[in-house]
Structure 1
């Protein structure tokens, strides 16, 4: 059962100058690995890039890259690099996902004709020289948001976090960890651009991919064509503010679930949103006293957070709460995320930012966020491996308004993972470089995966024509 909760909680320097290269000689396309789930026409290849761009002649790692060629080469205008989020998310098969006709709002013909869709597994992830921390299933089952019921739980979690950090450092790929960062992944993207023989690249990134895109277009503004950022982190990426943002995001989103459960009384969670909310708090308290099949209230909180990401998962969360309320173990929902996903996530989040080192600081944050964000605040504020990570090897890229006005942000009003409040901070950092389209809907993701036509059309028009809204706009539900 811990697998079920783990799946839900998770689903919950200077830029280098890359020489131009001939696409015919730089990349040799071939078949894709089967575990990337390639769709028809997807091609794959491998590039070598420096581990450390400050030592370009030093050790190299491999990047796995994919291409779905334009559906009409005569109308092709360039390449569209893609990132599905993470950090730790594999992107090799993402062009196939976005081109599936079964999506709620599939990519239209003019976009599929206008670009070669380019996917890649970021450095340290999947088929791109993957990193490991030798994490055990028990360690991964704790998920990303270990809930602290008091100061003693923070001390207990500190021991877990310290051990995880040491395992990462001592693992066979520990030497790579300082360089598995967002800035280096942006440099890798520019290596892909050069290998493709392109002067500029367009980009579509979701969730963590918004920060990656923001960093790329800040480091390489003149090599950026049309930049779309969907479900936006703040300008600091996955820093401590983003973690606290999880608390804010769950508070924004949970009322949607409460309405859903109240409208479906067969789950027995209440017939009003207030009753459903009260049932959630009652259930997590009972599970902390008397776990069901090892499931505590803290684990349910983390699972609920992850299941608020998508509309289709609200039903799963309601069924899970119903079963737990009856003292029954819910049915499993599929395979658990890979150890590599956890390890690469640690590497990026811990390596991008500086984190508090004092256990007392986390205890204080837990006490504050338990009150400020009662649903998950004492989980997102808890201590993690980053507290025991070495300091970042280079300063963080500062997102500014320097560069062309070529950024389109799209954002849901009630996003649990990347809340609107933090998206507004990124919008402010970009200044006149960006326009933001805010969509009145819940969940994580606007483009392709959600049905709002206004939000999807804004992205499609920008990718196809380069036209953005004249001002920031709002899309009704």
Structure 2
């Protein structure tokens, strides 16, 4: 797969939208993998990349419990430090997802980093295990099951989850049948161990990291398993680390995330002079949205070229969830609301190639289902969905519903890693107060778990991905200063 498809996979995972037999942190000496041959760097495939970016492949064990067994490839990229005399080490750009790639990030968001940070570090990207051009995995799902609307477990308009449970069984069966051995060895802890193999291949004693969204959980797990291999760690837009729930908690967090962020959208969507204005008062936007969704539940509008071929209530709700990720996306939701009010539809949105969707979906499914066991009881989901629909009508019960993990055929190979405060105090969390995908409530749980290891910067801002994206100038300065100099705020701070 070329770099363009890899970037498409990363974009899809960011839009959509996760352990080891050892439960205590490994010391640096215990964690060190065997010596690895020097990497063979060459030009990266694909177009639109910084000409300085290089790519290589690192081989890692398929099963880290069997280090001499079969091996798989991890694709790695880098742009070297721009000032070798100031070089401190390697900054790993840990992608979100699961299912996201940072292989193109040294050329992309890495170039937004301040000059002193680009001088201090080699910028390192990678495609996590299972994601092309690393050794790839595929569930062979039916094309209809690749739609984002199908992957999010939106209940039927009447609240029934029978269809979701049928989807879960069909999709889990396909992954078990077609995913091979690799689908069984996708987990956050496996990714953390892969990162340490890449660290060793680079010849680095310690690494710094900038993890975003799901990448914050990967970064936290890496810091738990290899605490003394970490230098300066930034965790941006943070996941709830609850070891009993993991991705179930992330899905459930959308209830709170939507409630936190929708008022910001409503104020924008009612602002005078906004060409995409949908109401005269902010207070009118929420009831308007709920009325439109209910009407589309009853009377969908045909939408040729889109999946599922119509604009229904759940399509509108899913668009809302995606659009609240960043204020720049608000027009997408507003325009769909205006079209629905007029009984029309906009042009059908483009989707990545099927091969990309198959690959990204398999990586996401394998990771979230292998990290932690999901309940198998339909009654548990039915109860949760019914309660959620009443308390959080904007999300209509989806965050407590059954994903395909409810029918996953095998239990996790090891318990999820419990994040603790053991290890060096070298972590900076940055978080927006209003984040639909990783709400502040979950971020505070990660902050609590890390204890003295971490300091947290909370931005009075809206959007997913804070640093150099949707945060504040104050928050960006704090993160940049930490990466460049190691100086952190003395205590948790709020940036307005």
Q: TM bucket by the smaller chain?
A: over 0.9
Question: How far apart are the structure 1 equivalents of 2:301 and 2:390?
Answer: 26
Counterparts of 2:14 and 2:201, CA distance in 1 = 37
Deviation at 1:324, TM superposition (A): 1.8
Shift of 1:281: 0.5
Deviations 1:291-341 (A, max 9, x none): 112121012101110111012101121112111221112123433362211
The one of 450, 454, 465 aligned to 1:430 = 450
Alignment TM-score, normalising by the size of structure 2? 0.89
| d(CA) in 2 for partners of 1:7, 1:325 | 28
Counterpart in the other structure of 1:26: 38
Answer whether contact 2:93 2:102 (CA < 8 A) is retained.
yes
Deviation at 1:151, TM superposition (A): 7.2
Partner SS, residue 181 of structure 2 = helix
Q: CA deviation at 1:11?
A: 3.7
1:450/1:254 CA distance change after superposition, 3 Å: same
CA distance in 2, matches of 1:402, 1:454: 29
1:446 and 2:466 equivalent?
A: yes
Superposed CA RMSD: 1.9
CA distances 1:442-463 after superposition (whole Å, capped 9, x unpaired): 1101112235111111110100
- Whether 1:296 and 2:296 are equivalent positions in the alignment is no
The TM-score with structure 1 as length reference comes to: 0.93
1:245 to 249, 253, 257: 253
Match of 2:174 in 1: 167
CA apart distance, 1:95:
1.2
Alpha-carbon offset, residue 84 of structure 1: 2.4
Asked if the contact 1:9/1:306 (under 8 Å) is kept, the reply is no
Match of 1:373 among 377, 387, 392: 392
- 2:477 counterpart of 1:461: no
Matched, 1:280 2:270: no
* SS of alignment partner, residue 148 of structure 1: coil
Please point out which of 321, 327, 341 is paired with 2:360: 341
Q: Is the 8 A contact 2:13 2:97 kept in 1?
A: no
The answer to whether the 8 Å contact 2:13/2:98 transfers is no
The 1:135–1:28 alpha-carbon spacing in structure 2 relative to 1, beyond 3 Å, is same
Distance 2:420 2:493 in 1: 21
Q: Is the 8 A contact 2:159 2:385 kept in 1?
A: no
DSSP 3-state at the match of 1:365: helix
Correspondence for 2:141 among 118, 135, 155: 135
1:24-55 CA distance string (max 9 Å, x none)? x52110011217x5323110000110010111
Question: Could you tell me how far apart the structure 1 residues matched to 2:451 and 2:379 are?
Answer: 37
Q: Aligned residue for 2:6? A: none
Q: Among residues 85, 106, 109, which one is paired with 1:98 in the alignment? A: 109
Query: Which of the residues 167, 182, 187 maps onto 2:188?
Result: 182
Could you tell me how far 1:343 is from its partner in structure 2? 1.1
Q: How does 1:78-157 map to 2 (within 5 A)?
A: 78-100=89-111, 106-141=112-147, 142-149=149-156, 153-157=160-164
Q: Distance in 2 between matches of 1:236 and 1:129?
A: 30
User: Which of the numbers 70, 80, 103 marks the counterpart of 1:59?
Assistant: 70
CA distance in 2, matches of 1:327, 1:470: 55
- Where do 5+ consecutive residues of structure 1 fail to align? 1-5, 101-105
What is the aligned partner in structure 2 of residue 103 from structure 1? Answer: none
Pair 1:236 & 2:242 matched: yes
Q: Is the 8 A contact 1:21 1:197 kept in 2?
A: no
In the alignment, the residues of structure 2 paired with residue 17 and residue 436 of structure 1 have an alpha-carbon distance, to the nearest angstrom, of 28
In structure 2, stretches of 5+ residues that fail to align are 1-10, 303-309
- Residue 43 of structure 2 aligns to a residue whose secondary structure is coil
Residue equivalent to 2:203: 197
Find the aligned partners of 1:327 and 1:432 in 2 and give their Cα distance. Answer: 55
> Take 1:179 and 1:233, find their aligned partners in 2: how far apart are those partners?
22
Distance of 2:396 and 2:14 partners within structure 1: 14
Q: 258-267 or 312-321, which moves further after superposition?
A: 258-267
Mapped to 2, the partners of 1:151 and 1:278 lie a distance apart of 19
Matches within 5 A, 1:2-81: 10-12=15-17, 13-14=21-22, 17-19=31-33, 21=35, 25-34=37-46, 37-81=48-92
